[in-house]
Structure 1
């Protein structure tokens, strides 16, 4: 049971506090309701760019000093941006809680958006794009998956964005972006760990209470176009092993399929005893690896198989074998021992996850963000445990057999 309190400061900053005095550590997480879905045409990539800019200094913190303050205190910090949100966090000894709050409040209130900082971070982000996406083996796969499965939607463009858009981002636009999205009323601040609730409230008011509230943010969302037939795309790349991604549109985070398809991934492909792994990797040696995963956001999601073949592997045969196994699953269902094993695995994994203060803050934030209900952290496992065998089969039949899908294949370039 995760006990917590939550309240709003007068300026609208939503605060969630969880007390755990077992170890003298704290996690501070600040989440903003802004992601790549909020970017305008011609500005793709600026939400992620802004994540970088938030570490470049503020009114009372010099460039680079955010990391230095945290590291000198014996902590660590990082951030991430996706389509829906941007999240910053620090892990610190509890006697340095005030340091973390001061740092977060200073950059919320007074980020240093100098021309030098903006140009420097543009170059960093473009280098990241080249290294991790453009020139990396299979690096454009997620970009192509979103472009096809999320076509026409606010999720169509990957968070890394486009180089030309990043380069053209102006200082005035950066200032407007910070003013609009990085305000107390558009954020949530979470603290988990060795804290005193009343002292925390005082510190939050001290460091954040005077920051201007900011105006309302109206977040629009355009739904993906409905796929009317299968899409097949082949990319010839500088790789040695062929990889095929089989991708299906699925509903959003928190939907019924969020839970039912978790069972399916484990039964079919996500461990060495799973059906596809045993059949195609071990017994028949048709493929080198196979994994199943799902990527679900606030408004829609993607389920995908990632299939790593051997050089010269016959992908058409592999594809047929995968769908033969999926159809067999729908027809014959789940074995009782599989069902029990997955339930035990989910229960264990869920409880293990909540041993760290960082994960507690992350989960509290996401439940608040997606569902406006942080209390879901205490009954989320029940949603998995309430899944029936027939629920899993119904979801697989509806979304993974009877619906159009994307086949994205990466093949080695011919010499």
Structure 2
């Protein structure tokens, strides 16, 4: 049975609230919020829930998110991008080097004829813009809520929800797990994952530089892991340093001056001296892939489906491409009068996403493993590969298309 957009009905029976939706999204982060906006714009009745409490104020988050053109296209369709554009810094060139080795690779926007290879946007601004758009669309985020159980039937997916001690029974045509690497939806569905622990942690902080180069992002592969600098405009950059997990405590304990000096030494002098270190935050790095993307009346997207090494800034963009693909499949199903939770509909989504998931996972995992080998002979091969990528146009174009989210 296809659940058409319906009038919300609630009744109290032994403190159990009854509600019916076309789609219930677990996870109110970037990806879940974007999907909710897209589905609501099609006239579907959507509910979003998250286990976290409502944010009292924007969380201090130093991350600058590298948004691919494919992501910007989605945010534009959702009418979120106009509020972000003035605060987003275009990336026109990506400069890739290997510390203490010859060879480099420069990826330029004009080589693909696009306005930019990506845009760096402050993470809190993107989250606030999506939250504001959800509110404007009349979508209430159910904070401090947990999905306790799910049971798919021929007619609907029966969900048991708990919010601040109050339990509810919801029915929905489709349940979407957008609840991150430790997805509770994935656990309830019994979907297993394949995981690789890189033994690395990223340290993220904002810095100032003395000699900025506008609209240029840097990826420098060093002993212990890559160092990326993403421009935020002016002299400000986001520094994303990857280090061995066993070294992170010592690095985090360094004084501001000592940390900046070490960072500067690893990166080099092309941007001058590093100054003004912001708050440092750490994130453990793993690759994780769900073995299945869907079960009856349920589907996984974003980090619940795939978590990647951040060395090519692909993880969030891959999640947004999940949103784009799922919106396409579900809106087509709705237009054709099909059931949103039909197995064939969800299989179509999984089939459409499989090539991108495989290619992007191989790219980030390959970079992490290849540049993690510390041997002089391997270093020579890596440098030779960078030179080849820089000079062999078909290879370079293929890499550029992957980076910007266009695999065609």
Pair in the same fold by TM > 0.5: no
Larger helix percent? 1
Larger strand percent? 2
TM-score w.r.t. the length of structure 2 is 0.28
TM-score w.r.t. the length of structure 1 is 0.28
